[in-house]
Structure 1
Amino acid sequence: MKTQEQLNYERIAEAIDYIKLNFKLQPNLDEVAAKINLSPFHFQRLFTDWAGVSPKKFLQYLSIEHAKAMLKEKSATLFDTAYETGLSGTGRLHDLFVNIEGMTPAEYRNGGAALSINYSFAESPFGDIIVASTSKGICFIAFADDKEIALGELKNQFPNADYHQFADVIHQNAMFIFRKDWSQLSDIKLHLKGTDFQLKVWDALLKIPVGGLNTYASIAQKINSPQASRAVGSAIGANPVSFLIPCHRVIRSSGETGQYHWGSTRKAAIIGWEACLIKNQASF
């Protein structure tokens, strides 16, 4: 049975879908509320509780023109990070990552043989997730709309590993990422299976601050491969750790949010949620 949080997210996702399709018309509160069969009052309250701002403000954060404006703020660096306010201290999320440790050649080649992997399912503001770790750190996070499929994707990554369904301390610490107060986060380590090029791309993603947006071209420049935008896109699509490695912060140079392995609606919701978080933090 779905939790109330899951049901609320589904309603919010439906509203975001409608807003994305009709943002040029700037739909009002009554119109969006009617599309998800809620009263305007109930929809306003539900949406504000979930995102921290009103539907009208959230619409502004999701609009293409807003994304373009963010990018143009740093035009001198060719679409580099746009919104640099960030959070103080540990709020700058990439500072929490001590390193990315790649699998050894043997681990990579043998599909995780001799690795012991703990995995668990948890709730997030954007739906259920699966999180997995080795003794060295987080190795996999994915949104789990279907838990069996999500577990299958994990096992495809490491077909020869030994699996245990257990929420260890590494999992519990990583889950603080979905709280609006990130002061409880400790250092997070990642233990990933990827090529040297993929690891470089994923490391570059960690350096995009909360509320920031980059393009595929700007990531290619950051890793000194300015002609490799297409390869960068492939590496981003292969990201094994959703949200923690923020591939959702990479958009098209046109300002459109673009595709996302776990759904473009979810990507738009995360971008808007983070923008709201930064806005709210800046007001204190």
Structure 2
Amino acid sequence: MPKDKGQPYHYGVMRRAIDAVDRLGPQATLDELAAELSMSPAHFQRLFSAWVGVSPKRYQQYLALGHARALLAARHTTLETAQAAGLSGPGRLHDLFLRWEAMSPGDYARGGGGLTIRWGMADSPFGPVLAMATEKGLCGLAFTSETGESEAMADLCARWPAATYVEDPQALAPAVAAAFAPRGPGPGPELHLIGGPFQIKVWEALLRIPAGQVTTYSDIARAVGNPRAVRAVGTAVGRNPISFLVPCHRALRRDGALGGYHWGLPVKRAMLAWEAARDEA
């Protein structure tokens, strides 16, 4: 698999590196981390930096448990401001360069009846990912390193039980590659958001959070016009089927704690660190 910056790096190596950072702590040296992965320090640093764009030592700082609080203090996006600044719209999203379309409430109520959903497994910077798409675009991205492939498959299929599912990873490969490619001026993958009306509103709010920044569940509740619905917002965030592209990982608790993450908190931590590092690289 390519090791160039901007391309998915072999997740097994990165996951072992993350585990080593967590186990050895922020004071671990490059030599100690490299030894954990049975690599020379120079080789480990070169491969690691190619994946994330910063050194292992710098990445340790992003993975620290206190990083979420610091991120919230320094890069807290107020969604009302983002909307007023024109960072969202019904067509192209200026931050992620996505085009999306929401399923009608009637279609959603029919449980995906009449839809053909193609699916397949792929690699990503955050581990194996289960991808799903309709003819209108990606409708599911589930990271399976924590939950397992069968559980992720059952989770997504249960959301649209009346749909027809066809395994076709090759058809999904271009969209998955675009999902994790560096941001640029060209069009990215199209999304087909399949959910209830309130869920769609919450996911629209998530799409207004720029990469490398975060917001809070209470901010999202205000942005969707229901400031008291923090708990309902949290549920809708957790039900987001298109992880990473609809960036539910950028939603934190008011105190800066990570909160939950449907596909596992280690994946959420890795996403926040990866984005923050690339934003400064």
Q: TM-score range by the shorter chain?
A: 0.7 to 0.9
Amino acid at match of 1:179: A
Secondary structure at 2:123 match in 1: strand
Q: Quickly say closer, same or farther: Cα 1:233–1:80, change in 2 above 3 A.
A: farther
Report the counterpart of residue 137 of structure 1 in structure 2. Answer: 137
d(CA) in 2 for partners of 1:184 and 1:7? 23
d(CA) in 2 for partners of 1:211 and 1:108? 32
Please say if residues 80 and 214 of structure 1, whose CA atoms lie closer than 8 Å, have aligned partners that are also in contact. no
Q: What TM-score do you get using the length of structure 1 for normalisation? A: 0.79
d(CA) in 2 for partners of 1:156 and 1:12? 31
Q: Quickly say closer, same or farther: Cα 1:93–1:131, change in 2 above 3 A.
A: farther
Report the counterpart of residue 172 of structure 1 in structure 2. Answer: 174
Question: Would you say 1:41 and 2:61 are equivalent positions?
Answer: no
1:162 to 161, 164, 168: 164
> How far is the alpha carbon of 1:178 from its aligned partner?
0.8
d(CA) in 1 for partners of 2:218 and 2:265? 20
Amino acid at match of 1:260: Y
Return 5+ residue gaps in structure 2 as ranges.
none
Amino acid at match of 1:110: R
> How far is the alpha carbon of 1:117 from its aligned partner?
1.5
Amino acid at match of 2:280: K
> How far is the alpha carbon of 1:168 from its aligned partner?
7.1
Q: Identity, % of aligned pairs? A: 38
1:189 to 168, 188, 191: 191
**Structure with the higher helix share, 1 or 2:** 1
Return 5+ residue gaps in structure 1 as ranges.
none
Question: Would you say 1:9 and 2:7 are equivalent positions?
Answer: no
d(CA) in 1 for partners of 2:114 and 2:79? 44
> How far is the alpha carbon of 1:21 from its aligned partner?
5.7
Q: Quickly say closer, same or farther: Cα 1:64–1:150, change in 2 above 3 A.
A: closer
Amino acid at match of 2:116: S
Please say if residues 101 and 136 of structure 2, whose CA atoms lie closer than 8 Å, have aligned partners that are also in contact. no
Q: What CA deviation, in whole Å up to 9, does each residue of 1:193-212 have, x standing for no partner?
A: x2221111111001100111
Secondary structure at 1:131 match in 2: strand
Counting matched residue pairs gives 268
Report the counterpart of residue 52 of structure 1 in structure 2. Answer: 53
Amino acid at match of 1:122: A
Q: Quickly say closer, same or farther: Cα 1:92–1:26, change in 2 above 3 A.
A: farther
d(CA) in 2 for partners of 1:180 and 1:273? 12
Amino acid at match of 1:131: A
Please say if residues 120 and 172 of structure 2, whose CA atoms lie closer than 8 Å, have aligned partners that are also in contact. no
> How far is the alpha carbon of 1:31 from its aligned partner?
3.0
Question: Would you say 1:101 and 2:102 are equivalent positions?
Answer: yes
Report the counterpart of residue 205 of structure 1 in structure 2. Answer: 206
Please say if residues 252 and 259 of structure 2, whose CA atoms lie closer than 8 Å, have aligned partners that are also in contact. yes
Secondary structure at 1:224 match in 2: coil
Amino acid at match of 1:123: D
Report the counterpart of residue 26 of structure 1 in structure 2. Answer: 27
Report the counterpart of residue 229 of structure 1 in structure 2. Answer: 230
Larger CA deviation: 48-57 vs 29-38: 29-38
Report the counterpart of residue 262 of structure 1 in structure 2. Answer: 263
d(CA) in 2 for partners of 1:172 and 1:180? 14
Question: Would you say 1:117 and 2:117 are equivalent positions?
Answer: yes
Please say if residues 121 and 130 of structure 1, whose CA atoms lie closer than 8 Å, have aligned partners that are also in contact. yes
> How far is the alpha carbon of 1:32 from its aligned partner?
2.8
Secondary structure at 1:124 match in 2: coil
d(CA) in 2 for partners of 1:178 and 1:7? 11
d(CA) in 2 for partners of 1:20 and 1:254? 22
Q: Quickly say closer, same or farther: Cα 1:138–1:186, change in 2 above 3 A.
A: same
Please say if residues 248 and 260 of structure 1, whose CA atoms lie closer than 8 Å, have aligned partners that are also in contact. yes
